[in-house]
Amino acid sequence: MRSCGVEADCGKIRNPQSTLRNRPAFTLLELLVVISILGILAALSVPALKNLGKSNAQISAARQLLDDVGRARQLAISQHTTVYMVFVPAIWNLSASLQTTATKNLLDKQYTGYNFLSLRSVGDQPGQGFSRYLSEWKSLPDGAFIATNKFNLAYYPGFASYPIANIGATYQINSFNYTNLFPFPNETNFNYSGLFLTPYLPFIAFNYLGQLTVDGTSLASNDEFIPLAQGTVAYATDVNKALQFAAPDVEENPPGNSTNSMFTVIHIDRLTGRATELRQKVQ
């Protein structure tokens, strides 16, 4: 039997140090180049990550609004009545008689808040309906709000419109309908003569069939479009951070995102009352 020596071809015992010496190694220059490339990639990715967080706020707002529009519609059908989805406009400039503690508590819901309201329900006597808020006042997630153009021209609904560019299409978005016939901010807000002491408030409404309506009787003449924006609404506060009746600072970030290619719009079909989300279509 032949024995295996160092030079023999059986087992081929190798020197580990020799193997390490034969491996290719990186030079200092190559390492510096790789580090530089990683630094450039990191610098490019940080803004993208920030924008991702902002868009997530808008996506969450769209999901919430879609769900709650659907809830308003279902409440109208199940309770066989008209349900109004009442939004909180700029209430910082309310008359002195309306600047109560209750309205002050809604200052941080300007452009973001809403509630469901029924002026009469099943069981109310004819001609003696009782107004009821069907939920607590809600707000859209931080970083998202309803585009301020949607609240324009309170006394002449339908005249404030602006286009949103989509590939091959343009949406004309009118302002909300407005009325001063809603109790606000709760159903017990009457004045001494039994009339509602309220500002003009924006709303959409669903009849007992779940269709869009303007007064509970007449079918809405157009579909409803609610544009969302991402950015900030900085509400006025005093030195103690208490809310104040003063104009908020509203900023879309990036600017114009409610109307440019970043737009997000909630579309409500007037005949079915069903809501869908519109976004820029990539072709």
Taking residues 221-235, what's their average pLDDT?
93
Task: Give the pLDDT confidence of 65-79 residue by residue, as tens digits.
Answer: 999 999 999 999 999
Taking residues 115-134, what's their average pLDDT?
79
Q: How far apart are CA 143 and CA 85, in angstroms?
A: 22
End-to-end alpha carbon distance in the chain: 76
Residue type, 55: S
What does the domain layout of the chain look like in residue ranges? 26-279
Residue 25 has pLDDT above 50, yes or no: yes
Domain 26-279, architecture per CATH: 3-Layer(bab) Sandwich (3.55)
The greatest distance separating any two alpha carbons of the chain, rounded to the nearest whole angstrom, comes to 121
Q: CA nearest 15: which of 6, 28, 26, 25?
A: 6
Q: Which residues of 106-145 are buried (b: 16+ CB within 10 A; e: fewer)?
A: bbbbbbbbbbbbbbbeeeeeeeeeebbbbeeeebbbebbb
Place of tokens 């609004």: 65
Residue 183 has pLDDT above 70, yes or no: yes
The residues near 149 (Cβ < 8 Å, ≥ 6 apart) are 160, 162, 173, 175, 227, 258
Radius of gyration for the chain, computed over Cα atoms and rounded to the nearest angstrom: 30
**Residue 220 DSSP class:** P
- pTM to 2 decimal places: 0.75
So what's the pLDDT on residue 11? 54
Q: What is the dihedral of CA 175, 180, 184, 186, to 10 degrees?
A: -110
Residue 256 has pLDDT above 60, yes or no: yes
- Per-residue confidence at 95, pLDDT binned at 50, 70, 90? confident
Residue 154 has pLDDT above 70, yes or no: no
Asked if residue 235 lies in contact with residue 108, where contact means CB atoms within 8 angstroms, the answer is: yes
Taking residues 146-160, what's their average pLDDT?
64
Residue type, 227: P
Looking at every residue in the chain, the average pLDDT score rounds to 81
DSSP string, 138-198: EEPPTTEEE-GGGG--TTSTT---EEEEETTEEEEEPPPEEES-S--SSTT-B-TTSSB--
